[in-house]
Structure 1
């Protein structure tokens, strides 16, 4: 989908901005149409808009497949300004729990 639509970038994490920009790029009239284009259920976007659910990797991958935008570009649209994301960041300070032998 090579369309000449410029994107505006949010200052901070903003899932509503992300969804609005995707709808604009894909020329979806509303969230329901966007869901059909992405192949996701409407409650997913509703939960993301109301910040009850974060934008996860499966959705980012699906959006990448549909739009052709790179994951880095999609993270920028979300307002994610980290240079790198390391999988173990959240677990780094927790000790590993080992199960005792039975």
Structure 2
């Protein structure tokens, strides 16, 4: 597996499964149920993310960062998030 710090968003198509699978491997977890416990979310949340019925929200992304020590930028790259700007309310935030 390549060094996570060397990965760029261009290395992936949007796929939250890649993010979830990487977290499971990185944290030495057995399955999605164990990941949901580690993230302190209900198991259906992970299932909905896997099936593209629910996006990875900011609070979940922060929780992923807290338990994995991966940067938000690296987590976004793992799921192929290529956005350079985010809209939060009326503000536009540029990601460098």
TM range, smaller chain: 0.7 to 0.9
Supply the RMSD in Å over aligned alpha carbons: 2.3
Corresponding position of 2:77: 76
Corresponding position of 1:57: 58
Tell me, in whole angstroms, the C-alpha distance in 2 between the residues paired with 1:13 and 1:88. Answer: 24
Q: Residue 86 of structure 2: SS of its match in structure 1?
A: coil
Larger Rg: 1
With normalisation by structure 2, the TM-score equals 0.76
* Structure 1: gaps of 5 or more residues: 92-102
Residue 27 (1) aligns with residue 28 (2): yes
Aligned residues: 86
Tell me, in whole angstroms, the C-alpha distance in 1 between the residues paired with 2:13 and 2:40. Answer: 27
Q: Residue 55 of structure 2: SS of its match in structure 1?
A: coil
Higher strand proportion, which one?
A: 2
Higher helix proportion, which one?
A: 2
User: How many angstroms does 1:88 deviate by?
Assistant: 5.7
* Structure 2: gaps of 5 or more residues: none
With normalisation by structure 1, the TM-score equals 0.72
Tell me, in whole angstroms, the C-alpha distance in 1 between the residues paired with 2:14 and 2:57. Answer: 13
